[in-house]
Amino acid sequence: MDTMLSILPPTNDWIFKLLFGDERHKDNTIALLKSFLRLPEDEFDITFMDSTLKPEDEDDKTGIVDIKLNTKRGLILAEEIQVNPFPCLEKRISFYKSKLITGQIGEGDSYEVIRRVICICIMDYTLFSGTKEYLNRFVFTILITGCVLKKCLRRYTR
């Protein structure tokens, strides 16, 4: 088994998706989510979704997250693993979360249909110099008051 681990590391995109993005290994996915998130237990009743973030027209960029999930209460979770430093990763994750939000609403829809989105990015390198924290949480915040817009979006990096 140790030989398999050295040959097939879970940080490989394909292996990560097999271990955590496959219905057959749902327990692994739930355990991983619980290591990041403090949510009511029924939020971990998850459904795997198509991980392609579809373009709205032919000139739009397509995004593909490693794993996309929906919870029983409608929370949308996206997981991404990034082993090698990637230029503009912050912008790529922002693009993904924006597509996950805008993909929920169509012309004439009420903004009430938009569900909360949480993006989790697992990295094997330091993205933010100056912090030694293992888990970082990003939210929309009013800088002066510290007031947080809680209902729509969160992003976690590890």
Map out the domains of the chain as residue ranges.
2-157
- 69: confidence class by pLDDT, cuts 50, 70, 90: very high
Determine the pLDDT at residue 16: 92
Determine the pLDDT at residue 146: 83
Q: CB count, 10 Å around CB of 1?
A: 4
154 pLDDT higher than 70: no
- Residue 96 CB-density burial (10 A; 0-12 exposed, 13-18 middle, 19+ buried): buried
